[in-house]
Amino acid sequence: GQNIDQPTEMTATEGAIVQINCTYQTSGFNGLFWYQQHAGEAPTFLSYNVLDGLEEKGRFSSFLSRSKGYSYLLLKELQMKDSASYLCAVRDSNYQLIWGAGTKLIIKP
């Protein structure tokens, strides 16, 4: 079966750094996406990795290791508005997105 694991919830402090991990087992791999989802809203695209390594985009970075089936999303200089769920999604051999359950990130002042 296909499986994507993320921690259910994490807490961090405003201004700090947080790393959200994602491990996956899917039938094939054609890229990994991170989305942000505020409560009651649509997922919005954050980052994409298809090759091993780090992709940096402002305060957000995402890392991929295909051999380990592992990715993380790194958020720096946390702001209160970063409180949201962060969804890891893998595109499988059929180019279908398989979603993790999401990590709810709580930012405290």
Partner 1 sequence: EPEVTQTPSHQVTQMGQEVILRCVPISNHLYFYWYRQILGQKVEFLVSFYNNEISEKSEIFDDQFSVERPDGSNFTLKIRSTKLEDSAMYFCASTTGRYESNQPQHFGDGTRLSIL
Q: Which residues bind partner 1 (CB under 8 A)?
A: 30-31, 33, 35, 40-45, 48, 50, 87, 89, 94-102
* Shortest Cβ 16–partner 1 spacing (Å): 26
CB of 45 to partner 1, least distance (A): 4
Phi first, then psi: give them for residue 81, nearest 5 degrees.
-70, -10
Closest approach, Cβ 91 to partner 1, in A, equals: 9
Q: What is the DSSP string of 53-84?
A: EEEEETTEEEEEETTTTEEEEEE-S--GGG-E
Q: What is the DSSP letter of 14?
A: T
Alpha-carbon distance 96 to 90, whole Å?
8
Q: Which is nearer to partner 1, 74 or 97 (CB)?
A: 97
Q: Judged by CB, which is closer to partner 1: 24, or 33?
A: 33
